[in-house]
């Protein structure tokens, strides 16, 4: 079963009289009983709304009557990493493939990498690639230094296949298309296929041939079909009207395939859609 992650439901917080003049960071910390650092992490996800508009400035001053809304990914950010559940999809002596929840980094001490290192007492465990904080799905981690070095080579040689589900604003004209716009000055290729469309939104499958930072999000924004809920590349009024209550950026790493780092045997792993993604699809009439 997939991890139980937040659904499309949101939590509204109305600013009371005594809280007039409080900063957004301090209000979140006080109301949710989390540290100011955790509150800042929630804002960094760019999913917190004030009176229906995204606000991520920690020092934003609130006034009596303001309504602060926390979509699903922000709720995940408020949860201490130690409390998050990370499902192992495939375990091998050389690597793990896990289902990364949204709202947590892939690597680092406070990311999935550090969380599993501590839980499993595996000091050599390292994320072989990264998913954005708000992206869910298949994450590959090497369990030995030798496996990690081999995965670096496989990614460099473009021998790792990755496919994503995405919900986007608007409906692409072509059922299948290739996007070749450079990303950060480097060649990049993303292949897109439309699965379904409704209400001026679409469900697409994306395959990245290259692995540039934020490649899918940048490429879809470049063709004017940004990922719904993307607060960095998809912040436009049309997107907000089409899906005003998406809990996070609707991007899910559904499939990863690669040669085994030691035997070269083909490995393929898929990760079911998380509940918040499936709920958003249903709310938009998409399949």
CA distances, 22 to each of 25, 27, 66, 165 (Å)? 8, 6, 11, 39
The 3-class secondary structure across 69-127, one letter per residue, is EECHHHHHHHCCHHHCCCEEEEEECCEEEEEECCCCCCCCCCCHHHHHHHHHCCCCCEE
Contacts of 196 (CB under 8 A, 6+ apart): 202, 203, 286, 287
C-beta of residue 147 within 8 angstroms of C-beta of residue 92: no
Nearest alpha carbon to residue 98 among 3, 202, 206, 225: 3
With H, G, I as helix, E, B as strand and everything else as coil, classify residue 13. Answer: strand
**Active centre residues (catalytic):** 132
């Amino acid at each position: 079963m997939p991890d139980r992650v937040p659904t499309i439901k949101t939590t509204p917080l109305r600013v009371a009289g005594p809280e007039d003049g409080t900063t957004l960071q301090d209000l979140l910390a006080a109301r949710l009983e989390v540290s100011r650092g955790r509150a800042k992490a929630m804002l960094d996800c760019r999913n917190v709304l004030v009176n229906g508009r995204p606000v991520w400035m920690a020092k934003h001053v609130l006034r009596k009557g303001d309504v602060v809304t926390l979509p699903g990914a922000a709720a995940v950010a408020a949860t201490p990493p130690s409390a998050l559940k990370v499902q192992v999809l495939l375990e091998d002596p050389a690597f793990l493939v896990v289902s990364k929840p949204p709202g947590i980094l892939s690597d680092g001490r406070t990311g999935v990498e550090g969380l599993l290192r501590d839980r499993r007492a595996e000091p050599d465990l390292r994320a072989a690639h990264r998913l954005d904080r708000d992206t869910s799905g298949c994450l590959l981690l090497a369990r030995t230094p030798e496996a990690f070095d081999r995965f670096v080579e496989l990614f460099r040689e473009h021998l790792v296949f990755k496919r994503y589900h995405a919900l986007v604003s608007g409906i692409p004209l072509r059922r299948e298309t290739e996007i070749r716009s450079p990303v950060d000055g480097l060649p990049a290729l993303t292949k897109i296929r439309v699965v379904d469309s409704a209400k001026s939104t679409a469900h697409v499958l994306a395959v990245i041939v290259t692995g540039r930072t934020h490649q899918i999000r940048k490429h879809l924004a470049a063709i004017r079909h940004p990922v719904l809920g993307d607060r960095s590349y998809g912040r436009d009024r049309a997107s907000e009207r089409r899906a005003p209550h998406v809990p996070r950026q609707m991007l899910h790493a559904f499939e990863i395939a690669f040669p085994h780092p030691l035997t070269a045997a083909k490995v393929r792993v898929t990760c079911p859609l998380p509940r918040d993604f499936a709920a958003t699809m249903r709310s938009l009439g998409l399949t």
